[in-house]
Chain A
């Protein structure tokens, strides 16, 4: 029995084992359903590691995240866990941020530092967020185990957030806050989305939990909801500007990830919120450590090649 099913990718221009891609999509889909994140931060590095050119990995990964977020968001929608109003405010900012991020990437690409910048961004954000989430979730697991009462939610810590203008009522999230913080978070996530080729769920989920104090059950559905739009926008931008979306690669990832996502959503019902957050934190930290290791360890070859466009 052979575990090799080679398929030639029309845009990436490489032959790859289709079964490997299907397996990757399935695992990423499962995790995205489980944690309510798009899974872009996993799929992009995995694709690059499999030999897909980074630009194609970023763009096709974004396309796959569209599918797994739709699948996940619909499942959450049926449980009434999507705050459309809050999601819309964030995705408006997200699309603005994404447009700006594409320009940042273009400038860095010309400087030859785009890979370094992407790696540093990944390490910084995944590292900080992963560590914070891990500490927080372990604390809440310990608290629930020893029966210590949790500190009151919506403490006075972020009172300055409540003094901002443009206050809106977000019914589903049971919040009455200014529209500015979610909008700014949206811009920031959009920026990261374009630079890192991810939906930004791993940034938006903790931001909603810890900054906006959105109830955990609404966080995942709303994050997925906004991820659909931001990644759909990113995919079209990449297809239009760089022609780097590989439909065959995306199709393989999509088919397996939407199935995986359904199982992931089911598995998430069996687990508590803080357990899910602890697991996500461990995975996020793992990716950060791996990327940090690559930055500081001596490369096997000091040189690298990249194709360039040269005018006549």
Chain B
């Protein structure tokens, strides 16, 4: 309490004082209530921190006006030991992954003056979208094995291959996936994108581009302290087609022949109508 008092006094705005006094409540309670197990000062050290989070929008409707969307991921660290937001006790990593796809990566080489695809590797379960947002550069958050275990960061993503391939070659193809997906804004890394706005409250924003795949997205939120993974949390968001965009897509896949005929009919009518209109003048 004594330590917090000058801080409280220095805060001028009403909401801030309110927040700070809220933060002080548990300590006050602990002091007034009779200590049962351990001394007050040691109590927080016993409790392990856990993380909870959610996304601002669980279902995203994709209509013909879709140009990408911003999603906010927010969460809280239970039993936070931080006394202020920028203390940096914790590292948080948020990993958002889109629906998985099988892809083929092809490599060109020069054959008789022409650039031709000469080798290829098929990969399965490659996330169509992948974004990692962290409080600090990924490699400083935790040791490599920990990050690799969880697949946090481009370096630590694991892609399963369908074809057998040598180690060096695999690396080239793997790098090509990351490089091309980055150019398409489908793979993104944002250092310092997770921001603590309270002792325990944090948030991060994700701008999903217009070219994202439609389907179920997962968001994993990891909590680290001193390179140790303390807790993780999984939440989901879904991108769904909506409105006329949905009707068109459903028709195209459910009744492809009718859809094709309707497309041709539309073209025929448009051609006829234009001729009739232009005939008058």
Instruction: Give chain A's interface residues, CB within 8 Å of chain B.
Output: 6-8, 10-11, 13-15, 63-64, 66-71, 74-75, 112-113, 115-116, 228, 232, 235-241, 243, 245, 247-248, 250-251, 254-255, 258-259, 261-262, 295-299, 301-310
Give the Cβ gap from B113 to chain A, nearest Cβ, in Å: 6
List the 7 shortest-distance A-B pairs measured between CB atoms, nearest first: A70-B271, A239-B260, A15-B210, A303-B176, A258-B274, A236-B260, A67-B267
Is there an interface contact between B267 and A64, defined as CB atoms closer than 8 Å? Answer: yes
By DSSP majority rule, is chain A's interface helix, strand, loop, or mixed?
Answer: helix
Tell me the residues in window 165-196 of chain B with beta carbons closer than 8 Å to chain A beta carbons.
172-173, 176-177, 179-181
- Taking the closest CB of chain B, its distance from the CB of A136, in whole angstroms, is 29
| A305 surroundings in chain B (CB, below 8 A) | 103-106, 176-177, 180-181
B181 / chain A contacts, CB cutoff of 8 Å: 305
Name A311's closest neighbour in chain B (CB-CB): B102
Question: Are A247 and B102 within 8 A (Cβ)?
Answer: no
Taking a contact as CB atoms under 8 Å apart, the answer to whether A116 and B260 are in contact is no
**Contact status of A303 and B268, CB under 8 A, knowing A8-B62, A8-B64, A10-B248:** no
Give complex CA distance A90, B181 in Å: 45
B260–A248 contact, CB under 8 A? no
> How many residues on chain B are close to A (CB under 8 Å)?
62
Contact B115 A296 (CB under 8 A): yes
Of B17-25, B42-50, B224-232, B251-259, the one touching chain A:
B251-259
Nearest A-chain residue to B126, judged by Cβ? A305
Please give, as numbers and ranges, the residues of chain A lying within 8 Å of B83 by CB-CB distance.
none
Residues of B within 8 A of A71 (CB): 270-271, 274-275
Chain B residues within 8 Å of A64, by CB: 267
Within 8 A of A (CB), among B91-111: 101-110
Q: Which residues of A contact B106 (CB under 8 A)?
A: 112, 303-306
Are A116 and B116 in contact (CB-based, < 8 A)?
A: yes
CB distance from B265 to the nearest CB of A (A): 9
9-residue interface stretch from B65-73, B129-137, B141-149, B198-206: B65-73
Closest chain A residue to B260, Cβ basis = A239
**Which chain B residues border A7 with CB–CB below 8 Å?**
64-65
Q: Which residue of A lies closest to B111 (CB)?
A: A116
Tell me if B240 is interfacial: C-beta within 8 Å of chain A.
no
Chain B, residues 206-220, CB within 8 Å of chain A (1/0): the string is 000011011000000
Q: Which residues of B contact A302 (CB under 8 A)?
A: 107-109, 176
Pairwise interchain contact B210-A236, C-beta atoms closer than 8 A: no
Q: Are B67 and A13 in contact, CB atoms less than 8 angstroms apart?
A: no
